[in-house]
Structures are given as structure tokens and as C-alpha cells.
Amino acid sequence: MNGKQGPAGPGGEGLSRERLFGMMAGFKATAALRAAIDLRIFDELDDGPLDAAGVAARLGADGRGVRLMLRALTGLGLLTALGDGRYALAPGTAELLVTTSPGYCGGIVDVAAGDVEWRALGDLAGTVRTGGPVPGADALAPGFPFWVDFARHTTFVTERVADVVAEELAGFAADRPGLRVLEVGCGHGVTGFELAARHPGARVWAQDWPEVLAAARGHAERRGVADRVAYLPGDAFTVPLGGPYDVVVAANLLFHFDRARSARLLERLTGVLAPGGRLVVAGFAPEDGREREQVQAHLLGLLLLSTTPGGEPYSPDDYRELLTGAGLVDVELHTRPGLLPVALTARRP
């Protein structure tokens, strides 16, 4: 071999046969997890250990299929084999994967590895060759099914990003007892709803497709702010936005569009921002030289390649240029240790 080798990854880690095989076979673990959540296997074991026949009887499923699934889930560390033919939940599984648990996270699989992504990435080589989205997988079109799942199931980092935004705007918001917040392309709407929860006089206008807003409404009700939320169904580029607003939030949104469309949208949002108001951009913002530690952001880039005509993750510098190009000033980057998404705030003069 005469290929030149670059530097190893963090801690000197390079490619090994084990890491390579893990990447090759990783989809099988995802498939097993998806199936187990769909079958509610973890719920069935929450009352106590069972053997494969007992689980199969409760599920009304094939005995051989259940037996092989339980062994695979044990190998993945999600179950524990007790040695007498019975299986129990492994430590942490009840908290995260039993549907009645307050900390249940299983629904996130519909976002992180849902059917839309599963199909869209199925011919990634072909998508890279053509440079265009997969036919029929247009994330920007009305009715795209992924967005309802995204709105229904908040992810592991959703709450932390909302907290960061609320913390950074705390002083600004406290000075505005009638705080008016617009969240565009809101999805679950948690960022705007968190601001409303922390500031009793705040009101939120949530914009997205109608079916997405129906899912967001549930989050507003659970946070006790539903009576202070109004909804703006439609396309972010054309729906009347009202205003002026003290805060405009665009979270997990701009990277779906090419730079020209992102600039147009930011100009539109700046136009409904009150003088002195804050525009917030939040989401993945990878930087050159940090690819290994920001791998999820770059994998998102491949999904955007497969589902949008021009989207890709923007860096913090890209966002700064877009925000200042829209006439905003005092652009600030806000991060937290261990949190990959970032938030940027900018002020309208």
C-alpha cells in the first residue's frame, strides 16, 4: 500500500478491523432496537423476567423469532440472560426504553432512525453521484412525514438547547414583561415554550405546517403554556408572520436551505423583529478540524444531501455572515461543554 496516512483521531485512535466492522454492521443493531421498541419487548419484561416462550406468548409472536431477538438484545447489552432460560432488563433499560417510564426515550428512534431516513440513505452512493435529493424524499415539501415524528419526540439534546437559549436571553427577557416570541419552523416548539415557561408574561407564536403544529400543541400543554401560544400554519417564506416580536427563533431550520434561501428567510425574519430585539439561530454548526468530535453534524449533512436540494450544515462563521448580512449586529455564539448544537444570538439595531 502506498496511500498517505493522515493523523490519527483523538487519543491516537486510528482505523482498526474492529472499528471498521462495527461501522459495517452497525445498521443491524439499529434494526434490532427499532424492532424491539415497535414490539414493546422491554414493556413485557418490566414486570419481571420471562423466558422466550413467555415473551412470545405475551406478544402473540413467533417463538423462534422472539428467541433470536432476545439473544441479540442481550448481546447489545439491553437485556440480561439469567442463566435459567429467562431474560431481564439490563441496568438503564427500564428507565430509557419502557414506555411508562418518565425518562422514556424509545420514541426518539422515529427521529434518529425513522423510516424516512432509513429509505433516504439506502442509496447514498447514488445520491452522492447525482448531488440531488432522493426522488420523493423532499424534506421541504408540505406533508413530509418526518416532521410530525420530529415534533412529537424531542431528542436528547432538545431540552439542553432550549435551556441554553433561555439562559442567554434571561436578562433581556426579564426587561420585557410582555415578551413576544416567534418560533419559525418550530417543530416541537420547545425553545419558544421554555421562554414562555420562564417568563409568565410572555406569549409565543409558533409557525410550521398544520400537522406539525398539532404535535407541538401537546408540548405546550405539558409545559402549562398552551393558553399563551398562538399558531401560524403555513410556509415560513410566505405565511403572514405578524409582529413585531422581541425574540425570533429559528432552531434546526436554516441548514435545510441553500445559502441564498437562508439569507432571504433571515431578511424576512429581521423584518418582523422589533428594534433592539433578538434573533436566535440554534442547531448543529460544525467547524473544520473537528470532524471526529462533530461526526453527528456531518452525518446530518448526508441526510440533507438526500432530502433537500441545497441544504448542508453551516459553521458558526457561516451563521455570523448570514446574520450580519441580514442587518443584525452583536452576533454572539453560545455553547456548553458536551453539547454539540450551538445557539447564536444577534440584535436588530
Which tens digit of pLDDT belongs to each residue from 269-290?
Answer: 999 999 999 999 999 999 888 8
Question: What cell numbers appear for 139 in the block?
Answer: 424534506
The pLDDT value given to residue 8: 56
If asked whether residues 192 and 324 sit together in one domain, one would say yes
Instruction: Give the mean pLDDT of 1-19.
Output: 66
- Find the DSSP H helices in 40-179: 41-44, 52-59, 63-75, 93-97, 109-112, 115-120, 124-130, 146-152, 158-168, 170-174
Helix/strand/coil for 132 = coil
Rg (CA), the chain: 23
If asked whether residues 182 and 301 sit together in one domain, one would say yes
If asked whether residues 183 and 259 sit together in one domain, one would say yes
If asked whether residues 72 and 165 sit together in one domain, one would say no
Q: Report d(CA 177, CA 197) in Å as an integer.
A: 13
The number of domains in the chain is 2
The pLDDT value given to residue 115: 85
Please check whether residue 96 lies inside any domain of the structure: yes
List phi, psi (to 5°) of 91. Answer: -55, 130
Domain enclosing residue 89, as ranges: 25-104
Q: How confident is the model at residue 4 (pLDDT cuts 50, 70, 90)?
A: low
Q: Which of 104, 135, 167 is the last residue of a domain?
A: 104
Please check whether residue 140 lies inside any domain of the structure: no
Please check whether residue 19 lies inside any domain of the structure: no
If asked whether residues 97 and 151 sit together in one domain, one would say no
Q: Report d(CA 192, CA 70) in Å as an integer.
A: 41
Give the rounded percent of residues in the chain with a pLDDT score beyond 90: 80
Q: Which of 52, 86, 104 is the last residue of a domain?
A: 104
297-344: pLDDT as tens digits? 999 999 999 999 999 999 999 999 999 999 999 999 999 998 889 999
Distance of CA 303 to the CA centre of its chain: 12
Q: Do β-strands 79-81 and 229-233 pair in parallel, antiparallel, or remain unpaired? A: unpaired
Distance of CA 348 to the CA centre of its chain: 28
The pLDDT value given to residue 159: 87
Instruction: Give the mean pLDDT of 49-68.
Output: 97
Please check whether residue 13 lies inside any domain of the structure: no
If asked whether residues 199 and 56 sit together in one domain, one would say no
Please check whether residue 115 lies inside any domain of the structure: no
Q: What's the burial of 347, exposed, middle or buried (CB within 10 Å: 0-12/13-18/19+)?
A: middle
In sign, the C-alpha dihedral spanning 227, 279, 138, 286 is negative
Which CATH number do you get for residue 55? 1.10.10.10
Which CATH number do you get for residue 210? 3.40.50.150
Please check whether residue 120 lies inside any domain of the structure: no
Instruction: Name which residue leads in pLDDT, 169 or 291.
Output: 169
Please check whether residue 311 lies inside any domain of the structure: yes
pLDDT at position 112 over 60: yes
Which residue, among 302, 258, 255, 313, has the nearest Cα to 125 in the 3D structure?
302
If asked whether residues 151 and 94 sit together in one domain, one would say no
Q: How confident is the model at residue 6 (pLDDT cuts 50, 70, 90)?
A: low
If asked whether residues 38 and 89 sit together in one domain, one would say yes
Whether the Cβ atoms of residue 85 and residue 51 lie closer than 8 Å to each other: yes
Amino acid identity for residue 10 in this structure:
P
If asked whether residues 98 and 152 sit together in one domain, one would say no
Residue 346 CB partners (closer than 8 Å, separation 6+): 278, 279, 281, 323, 324, 328, 329, 330, 331, 332
If asked whether residues 79 and 174 sit together in one domain, one would say no
Q: Report d(CA 276, CA 25) in Å as an integer.
A: 52
Q: How confident is the model at residue 3 (pLDDT cuts 50, 70, 90)?
A: low
Please check whether residue 129 lies inside any domain of the structure: no
The pLDDT value given to residue 74: 97
If asked whether residues 181 and 38 sit together in one domain, one would say no
Q: Which of 104, 132, 162 is the last residue of a domain?
A: 104
76-105: pLDDT as tens digits? 999 999 999 999 999 999 999 999 999 899
If asked whether residues 163 and 87 sit together in one domain, one would say no
